[in-house]
Amino acid sequence: MKFLRFSDVCTSGFARDKRVFIRADLNVPQDEQGNITEDTRIRASIPAIQMALDVGAAVMVTSHLGRPTEGEFKPEDSLAPVAARMGQLMGRSIRVVADWVDGDFSVAPGELVMLENCRLNVGEKKNKPELAAKLGKLCDIFVHDAFGTAHRAEGTTYGIAETAPIACAGPLLAAEMDAISKALANPKRPLVAIVAGSKVSTKLTILQALAKNVDGLIVGGGIANTFMLAAGLKIGKSLAEPDLLGEATAVIDAMKARGAAVPIPTDVVCAKSFSPDAVATVKAATDVADDDLILDIGPETAATLAAQLKQAGTIVWNGPVGVFEFAAFENGTKTIAQAIAESSAFSIAGGGDTLAAIAKYGIEKDVGYISTGGGAFLEVLEGKTLPAFEVLARRAE
């Protein structure tokens, strides 16, 4: 994937005294009083901003926050709390600019301003051409550094990339593009994907896309139950989608045709009710009773999958394989997490529950790359080309 990196633009000296427009992802959680409760995204956005300031650029940064109505400003939609927190972290004061689309504001070399919530601008969500034209005139260099929005073709993520004199990827987005390319475009084989979650329907296109590319496809959670049904096993009253058995069988057959496999659990952990204090019983996959709920893979299955992961060249992980939030049903996910940590494979992981599992088992430093964009990461796994990637690659030519 060819694209221009903002780090290279800065190293070349071109950014000095230039107006740099950075689209960051500063969509942070806030409490009812508007206080920021978690600032990871603000911290993650600072390297690109600091890179621009260090070379003497005049820096503008913007982001969406919440779900505002275009053209209707409400105090709770303001990026002012974000600017205040970023200012604390960077040891500087950051001016917030409202109604900025027409460029009626100044920004000096070495200065950083926060442009108010971009989703307040009329035409942002639908990337209206007249807005895109105005956005491109605001800067000399556009920097896309918000992977979480890379799957959306909006004014500040796509339109400006077409109309700005130069469009490039910031360090956060470049790292995602590099990791995705390494894992999916040029993977070291065997390539093993773990796709887990409650429903096949939400991950069906991902499973179909991966079945054409991976050497091993591990399914978990409710998805695994549907695959067990497709393999002729009973699953009691477990969560499953019987109407998608044909699709599950097609994925199994597609893998088989390529000499690859979808491992079906040989043992499972069952309970009679879905609760943290439910009694957990390990059973052979052939012995599930009519009133059983399958809440995790069994130890034998977990050990088999762990051995497979340790032999992999590349691992893509999206979703825990059991109800890991309950201690009695966490062994499968814990075993998978530890196997990924111990594997020499390049691993890329994404999705909210996956990140929670990585944090729970303390393996952050052992995963090759942790993707921060939920929807964007899933669309990449579906085989889609993200709008941000497409426009930056085109502009790099």
Binding residues for (2R)-3-phosphoglycerate: 41, 119, 152
As annotated, the binding site for ATP includes 203, 325, 351-354
As annotated, the binding site for substrate includes 25-27, 41, 64-67, 119, 152
The secondary structure of residue 229, as a DSSP letter, is: H
Examine the residue annotation and report whether 258 is marked as an active-site residue of this protein. Answer: no
Question: CA 86: distance to chain centroid?
Answer: 23
E strands, the chain, in order: 19-23, 58-62, 95-97, 112-115, 141-144, 166-169, 191-197, 216-221, 267-271, 281-284, 293-297, 314-318, 346-349, 369-370
Examine the residue annotation and report whether 148 is marked as an active-site residue of this protein. Answer: no
d(CA 106, CA 45): 22
Examine the residue annotation and report whether 375 is marked as an active-site residue of this protein. Answer: yes
> Could you tell me which of 36, 7, 33 has the C-alpha nearest to residue 20?
7
As annotated, the binding site includes 25-27, 41, 64-67, 119, 152, 203, 325, 351-354
Among candidate residues 18, 19, 41, 85, the one labeled active-site is 41
At 157, give phi and psi (nearest 5°): -110, -20
d(CA 176, CA 44): 13
Among candidate residues 91, 232, 352, 365, the one labeled active-site is 352
d(CA 230, CA 215): 20
Residue pair 361/337 in contact by the 8 Å Cβ criterion: yes
Residue pair 139/159 in contact by the 8 Å Cβ criterion: no
Among candidate residues 313, 374, 375, 383, the one labeled active-site is 375
Among candidate residues 199, 234, 360, 384, the one labeled active-site is 199
Examine the residue annotation and report whether 246 is marked as an active-site residue of this protein. Answer: no
d(CA 110, CA 116): 19
Residue pair 147/25 in contact by the 8 Å Cβ criterion: yes
For 10, the 3-state DSSP assignment is helix
Which sequence positions are flagged as catalytic?
A: 41, 199, 352, 375
